[in-house]
């Protein structure tokens, strides 16, 4: 990717597109993912982006021919401003229920003030329903499963679902995020004493999930730029089928985590 392409990836308004089956990318930019999972009984929206992203997400949903009022459920990857900052406004526009894990609900309800990572706060939102690890969210014949993958936030969630298309079944994984927060120590963190163990368990859990279609909270984690280009070229193979990319992502993030751990534990 050139510097210009990177700039475009991060800031240009993204065009929405169908990924596979009933799953659409509706993020305001390719950098900040939002996914619309449509069903005959209403839709599920995974991540809203920043508050200022909501207008773009709205236009993307509507330009695909879907109605905002049909969004019944709002989910999230993790409680940081660039993924749930748009939740209060999107809830106003859709009337959807916000479903979130307990730990991320807490951070969301304080607009990030109760997060172990200290950053500028954002507009808080209230959870309508708390979801637990392994919980299945069902709507209109579609099932999404919540897999708690804490570490990046305490309630970080990886979502999975299954799509049938062209006589094939595909396992879809929406990774919540496995990056260590810059400037936040892993070891001996009084605001998050279990961070090291949580990350380790989350890596193990992600490795155990079957994955054909690899998706995530940020586009560059799954090389969205190249995949969209391939999609536009119209090949016969769906570019989002990328089990190797999924394994590579986990391996790369785990390596970074282990190196940081070694650095922090160095000498002891």
Residues in contact with Zn ion by CB under 5 A are 80, 82
Give the span between the Cα atoms of 219 and 228, in whole angstroms: 10
Of residues 40 and 179, the one with the C-beta less far from Zn ion: 179
Least distance in Å: CB of 152 to Zn ion? Answer: 6
Shortest reach from residue 80's CB to Zn ion, in Å = 4
Write the DSSP string, the chain: --HHHHHHHHHSPPPPEEEETTEEE--SSSSB--EEEEETTEEEEE---SGGGHHHHHHHHHHTT--GGGEEEEE-S-SSHHHHTTHHHHHHHH-PEEEEEHHHHHHHHTTTTTSSS----------SEEE-TT-EEEETTEEEEEEE--SSSTT-EEEEEEEEETTEEEEEEEE---PPPTT--STT-TT-TTHHHHHHHHHHHHHHS--SEEEESBGGGGTHHHHHHHHHHT-SS-TTB-HHHHHHHHHHHHHHHHHHHHHHHTT-
Minimal distance, residue 138 CB to Zn ion, in Å? 27
Question: Which of residues 43 and 80 has its CB atom nearest to Zn ion in the complex?
Answer: 80
Q: How far is the CB of 175 from Zn ion (least distance, A)?
A: 12
User: Shortest Cβ contact with Zn ion: which residue?
Assistant: 80
Q: Which is nearer to Zn ion, 77 or 94 (CB)?
A: 77
Least spacing, CB of residue 53 vs Zn ion, in Å: 12
Give me the least distance between CB of 64 and Zn ion, in Å please. 24
Q: What is the distance of C-alpha 220 from the center of its chain?
A: 12
Closer residue to Zn ion, CB minimum distance, 175 or 213: 175
Nearer to Zn ion among residue 20 and residue 105 (C-beta): 105
Q: Toward Zn ion, which CB reaches closer, 173 or 178?
A: 178
Q: How far is the CB of 156 from Zn ion (least distance, A)?
A: 8
**Smaller CB distance to Zn ion: residue 82 or 212?**
82
C-beta of 39 vs 109, nearer to Zn ion: 109
Structure tokens that stand for 172 in this block: 């879809």
26 phi/psi in degrees, rounded to 5: -130, 20
CA 233 remoteness from chain centre: 26
Minimum distance, C-beta of residue 218 to Zn ion, in the bound complex (Å)? 6
CB 37 within 8 A of CB 163: no
Residues 6+ apart with CB under 8 A from 194: none
């Amino acid at each position: 990717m050139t510097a210009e392409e990177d700039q475009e990836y991060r800031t240009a308004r993204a065009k929405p597109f169908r990924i596979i089956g009933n799953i659409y990318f509706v993020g305001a930019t390719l950098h900040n993912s939002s996914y619309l999972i449509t069903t005959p009984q209403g839709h599920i929206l995974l991540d809203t982006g920043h508050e200022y992203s909501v207008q773009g997400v709205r236009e993307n949903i509507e330009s695909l021919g879907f109605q905002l009022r049909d969004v019944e459920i709002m989910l999230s990857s993790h409680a940081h401003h660039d993924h749930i900052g748009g939740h209060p406004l999107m809830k106003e526009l859709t009337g959807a229920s916000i479903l979130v894990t307990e730990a991320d609900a807490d951070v969301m309800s304080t607009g990030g003030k109760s997060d172990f990572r200290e950053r500028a706060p954002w507009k808080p939102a209230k959870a309508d329903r708390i979801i637990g690890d392994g919980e299945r969210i069902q709507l209109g014949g579609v099932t999404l499963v919540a897999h708690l993958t804490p570490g990046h936030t305490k309630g970080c969630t990886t979502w999975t679902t299954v799509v049938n298309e062209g006589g094939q079944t595909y396992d879809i994984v929406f990774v919540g995020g496995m990056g260590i927060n810059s400037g936040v120590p892993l070891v001996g963190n009084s605001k998050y004493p279990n961070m090291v163990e949580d990350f380790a368990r989350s890596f193990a859990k992600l490795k155990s999930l079957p994955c054909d279609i690899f998706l995530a909270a940020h586009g560059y984690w799954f090389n969205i730029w190249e995949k969209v280009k391939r999609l536009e070229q119209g090949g016969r193979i769906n570019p989002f089928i990328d089990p190797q990319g999924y394994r590579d992502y986990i391996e790369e993030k785990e390596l970074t985590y282990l190196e940081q751990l070694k650095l922090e534990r160095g000498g002891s």
